[in-house]
Amino acid sequence: MILIDGKAVSAQIRAEVKARSCALEKTYGVVPTLAVILVGSDPASQVYVRNKVKACEESGIKSLAHYLPETASQEEVEALVKRLAKDDSVHGILVQLPLPKGLDAQAVMRLIPTDKDVDGFSAENVGRLSMQQEGTIACTPLGVMELLKRYHIPTAGKRAVVVGRSNIVGKPMAMLLMNANATVTVCHSKTQDLKEECRRADILVAALGKPKFITADMVKEGAVVIDVGMDRDENGKLCGDVDFEAVKDKVSFITPVPGGVGPMTVTMLMSNACTLCERALRE
């Protein structure tokens, strides 16, 4: 069994992003800039934003953090997004979700231009992914593909099973694997005989948000297991969607939680911000 080290790959990619960023500054006098909007004082969201700002510093990305109070109106949030959308010095816009109750997150997200959609969540970017056109790809599935690539894990002709069909992970993950020539099955709460579907996977991606849901009898001998989950077990300890201890001796590769897919998500956000800057300069 080989443990896929997301922290090590993440550090490698951040160094690459920093080099790209320095090259842009040297050649064009432009620093890739990411605007982050946080509305309210949700503790988890504050931690995420701090992590993103810190990652920007490490990756040579300029961060502009905008903090709005819990009492901010829909109009105020939308006005800020519209202002950043028109600002040519801003290359990526990120609105930290969830927004406080009473605010329409979808309406706010729709105001982010496709070419500044650093998260890759817009309908336009999802459409581009499905048609294999250039666009921005959601950070977590993009991070998973980077891990597979850097560990030289082949996807072409392999049977991949994605457990979970969220717009943020499951669906784009399935499309990326399909684009990489895997034969893909997407499983969810209505899937009949989920265990049997999982057991057929050469590459199993668990992204359903249930602690230790994937057990040893659901995994094929020698499979590659990617755990996207970030859960808490019965003792409040951080764990994934895969029962790591039960599964690890059966697989060829596996991502741990923490330290697997998690670090890659913020790192790919940095990479996306740099890519959006490169595209803006190219156009």
Question: For residue 89, what are its two tokens?
Answer: 């010095």
CA 242, 245, 246, 248 dihedral sign is positive
User: Cα(51)–Cα(223) distance, rounded to whole angstroms?
Assistant: 32
User: Cα(60)–Cα(16) distance, rounded to whole angstroms?
Assistant: 10
Residue of 5, 52, 116, 202 marked active site: 52
Residue of 119, 202, 227, 243 marked active site: 119
Q: Is 117 tagged catalytic?
A: no
User: Cα(83)–Cα(250) distance, rounded to whole angstroms?
Assistant: 52
Stretch (H or E) spanning 253: strand 253-254
Alpha helix stretches (DSSP H) within 35-169: 43-59, 74-86, 105-109, 123-130, 139-150
Q: How far are the Cα atoms of 64, 260, 273 from residue 88, in angstroms, in the given order?
A: 13, 35, 14
Taking the alpha carbons at both ends of the chain, their separation in whole angstroms is 45
**Of 147, 142, 112, which is closest to residue 224 (Cα–Cα)?**
147
User: Cα(105)–Cα(74) distance, rounded to whole angstroms?
Assistant: 9
Stretch (H or E) spanning 170: helix 170-179
Question: For residue 177, what are its two tokens?
Answer: 């694997």
Encoded amino acid at 129, one letter: L
Q: Is 88 tagged catalytic?
A: no
Residue of 5, 96, 171, 243 marked active site: 96
Q: Is 52 tagged catalytic?
A: yes
Looking at the annotation, which residues are catalytic?
52, 96, 119
